[in-house]
Structure 1
Amino acid sequence: MTNTRRASIVQALAIALGLFATAGSAFAQVRIAYQTVVEPAKVAQADGLYEKATGQAIEWRKFESGSEVITAVASGDIQIGYVGSSPLAAAASRELPIETILVAAEIGSAEALVVRNGSGIAKPADLVGKKIAVPFVSTTHYSLLAALKHWGIDAKKVSIINLRPTEITAAWQRGDIDAAYVWDPALGKIKENGKLLTSSAEVATWGAPTFDAWIVRRDFAQKNPEFVAQFVRITGEAYAAYRKDAKAFVANQANVDKIVKLTGAAAADVPELLAGSKFPTLAEQASPALLGGGTVKALTDTAKFLKEQGKVDKVLADYGSYVSVKHVQAAAKASDQAVAAAR
């Protein structure tokens, strides 16, 4: 074989390998950020239903807080992410190129403020001078500030410490903090040696409701509308399965095991944690109460509160461009088609 022909073959192989690598990268380019929140769609995630529905390889990355997810989405490293309403409002206020595609959960008792046994905290007024841990710019941070305001407690008179959920658990065990506002699995662990002071269900009745949402980078959604629709469809169908018969859902040990594996929550706590939030169906998602209007108002109200607390620099005149109803509408249509095809 001549040197020229050998060089040509090597070059051709290099080009082929390059194309293969490029194709492989494209095929694996969808990166989705999830958190350890206990919710029904974790079962679909564990079963690979998202990959099956989209025909796309997905790299699932676990994050501990919404602020970390926002940073990853803003950098372009993550295309779709799970965040709370507070970091979402903060991100929209910074005018990041994102949009809300699904309200994942209307948070109730699944997030709570717990005070450590022996901390000397028997009532809200006792929080003054104490150390309270919370992931900053999270839904629990927002709820904590709203609770303090409701109780008439100056947040500056409380030592609020920024810790991630795993760090909260460790600090709690060392006795470094007096209280924490967090979600599971950290919530379940600190409850073992603590007392509930309030939850996000109660804080919501005081005028500060919180929710979790799935967001997408706007450029990704524009180029991949079918992927986003299928992602929303699978999530919505998982919620519908739970809502149809919650008792049967948690009675299925396989469902519980899958949720435990992805979240780290205790199996015994899963039924209560699922019951601690409301998971809207696709029909509810598109209603005026949620993506059809209510979610925009909620983001606006949250942003105003965060501005008041000095957590964001400005409040936008309109948050409508950060909420999209078209993806749930496309998902509902795809879901109907899937049901018809299965008949």
Structure 2
Amino acid sequence: MTAVRARLSRPARRLFSAALAVPLLALAACGYGSDSEDDGADDAPSSSESAEGPSLSADEVTIGYFANITHAPAVIGLQEGDGLIRQELGGTEIGTQIFNAGPSAIEALNAGEVDVTFIGPNPAINGWAQSGGESLRIVAGAASGGASLVVNPETVSSIDDLAGARIATPQLGNTQDVALLNYLSEEGYEVDPESGEGDVSVLRIANSEIPAAFDGGDIDGAWVPEPTAANLVSRGAETLLDEGELWENGQYVVTHVIAAQGFLEEHPDVVEAIVRGLVRTNAWIGENPEEAKTSFNAALAELPGGSELPADVLDPAFDHVEFLNDPLASTLQVGAENAVNAGLLEETDLSGIYDLSILNGVLAEEGQPEVDDAGLGVED
């Protein structure tokens, strides 16, 4: 199947602008990192700095990302001075915008406020569907994995114990919410997708409030991304299910890179520089994992309102995420199908959402194999 549909069903239509977004994933939402607790309402203002060397076809480019672990390639690669993405852009002025949630990143892309952004799978589907396939292309991967169902072992010790349990997700209709609803359905539990009521109570709680809800006994667990999962484990939770267990080879897209279609058409050399810097950054992270964690934490502290993560959260959370260039296109398709099955989406054609030509060109230069678009690539 090479096409799925992603327009909202009538009951969920009013939720789409914020619901089908990547989970907030911001470290602030876990009590660490950025101190904002508003899911996307108080995104950090743009900052800009020129690197050394001649500019490319665009005098400036604005890049969006989240201040969290699954966006570590951006956090590390855009560091002032030695960030490899920054180096590849030469003299082109670089603006950055830090987002707390996917919907605001898509809005900024559509408004021309950012040209390229690191983002999760569901907001990319959202942006594609709402624009009729006119707003964006996915040009590279960035990260896989990093989500788990973690529970209070005193109340939930097995999948069978989920009956009657209260399980939190960061946002109605977000990536983890869809994953949980789909998983519960496959396990035979019936849950109304909009209200969250049913055999299992699915509670949509802001990431910033999930640890307190866990500590207060208001929830029995949560299906959450890193570092929220590691944060809860540090508070006594146990991992009941690593989401990677549900995917082939344990891999599924959690962060990829999208570019505004107009910017991609007018400035392919700039997008290529960003992609090349990303490939170099991911290679460096893979070769220097401990140094990468230190670099990430230091860069995090330099961001507006940022602070470093404690080791008992940083280490397991960072190790739970795989940084890779492949956007894992087939998993985007499955994720969209899961959203349809969960009752939060109707179907729409995703053909053309990918343009991996630049990425594959860079990979060829690096002697690495091409990656596949699962039949969802733009036609030549």
TM-score between both structures, scaled by the size of structure 1: 0.73
- Report how many aligned residue pairs link the two structures: 292
How far has the Cα of 1:230 moved from its partner?
A: 0.8
How far has the Cα of 1:199 moved from its partner?
A: 1.3
Q: CA–CA distance in 1 between the matches of 2:184 and 2:224?
A: 15
Aligned equivalent of 1:52: 87
Do the aligned partners of 1:146 and 1:208 also contact (CA within 8 Å) in 2?
no
- CA deviation vs aligned residue, 1:281-328 (integer Å, no higher than 9, x gap): 5xxx4xxxx5xxx61x43333222212222223221xx2311011221
Aligned equivalent of 2:167: 132
Counterparts in 2 of 1:271 and 1:81: CA distance versus 1, 3 Å: same
Counterparts in 2 of 1:142 and 1:30: CA distance versus 1, 3 Å: same
- CA deviation vs aligned residue, 1:110-133 (integer Å, no higher than 9, x gap): 211111355x22222332333322
Secondary structure of 2:105's partner?
Answer: helix
Aligned equivalent of 1:188: 230
What code does the residue aligned with 1:328 have? L
Structure with greater helix share of residues: 1
Aligned ranges 1:59-208 → 2 under 5 Å: 59-94=95-130, 95-96=132-133, 97-107=135-145, 110-116=146-152, 118=154, 120-134=155-169, 135-156=171-192, 157=198, 158-191=200-233, 192-205=235-248
Aligned equivalent of 2:8: none
How far has the Cα of 1:166 moved from its partner?
A: 1.9
What code does the residue aligned with 2:275 have? V
What code does the residue aligned with 1:177 have? I
What are the ranges of 5 or more consecutive residues in structure 1 without an aligned counterpart? 1-25, 337-343
Counterparts in 2 of 1:90 and 1:305: CA distance versus 1, 3 Å: farther
What code does the residue aligned with 2:140 have? L
- CA deviation vs aligned residue, 1:249-285 (integer Å, no higher than 9, x gap): 315774253365368543344443343233225xxx4
What code does the residue aligned with 2:87 have? K
Do the aligned partners of 1:42 and 1:258 also contact (CA within 8 Å) in 2?
no
- CA deviation vs aligned residue, 1:211-267 (integer Å, no higher than 9, x gap): 321111111211221111111111110111223x3xx43157742533653685433
Aligned equivalent of 1:22: none
Moved more, 226-235 or 126-135: 126-135
Q: CA–CA distance in 2 between the matches of 1:309 and 1:206?
A: 24
What code does the residue aligned with 1:234 have? G
Aligned ranges 1:198-237 → 2 under 5 Å: 198-205=241-248, 209-237=252-280
What code does the residue aligned with 1:211 have? V
TM-score between both structures, scaled by the size of structure 2: 0.66
How far has the Cα of 1:32 moved from its partner?
A: 1.5
Do the aligned partners of 2:118 and 2:257 also contact (CA within 8 Å) in 1?
yes
Counterparts in 2 of 1:220 and 1:45: CA distance versus 1, 3 Å: same
Aligned equivalent of 1:339: none
- CA deviation vs aligned residue, 1:155-189 (integer Å, no higher than 9, x gap): 33132233332232343344433221112232222
What are the ranges of 5 or more consecutive residues in structure 2 without an aligned counterpart? 1-57, 193-197, 368-380
- Larger Rg: 1 or 2? 1
Moved more, 226-235 or 83-92: 83-92
Identity percentage over the alignment? 20
Aligned equivalent of 2:357: 326
1:310 counterpart = 2:336 = no
Q: CA–CA distance in 2 between the matches of 1:129 and 1:177?
A: 11
Do the aligned partners of 1:188 and 1:265 also contact (CA within 8 Å) in 2?
no
How far has the Cα of 1:201 moved from its partner?
A: 1.1
1:249 counterpart = 2:289 = yes
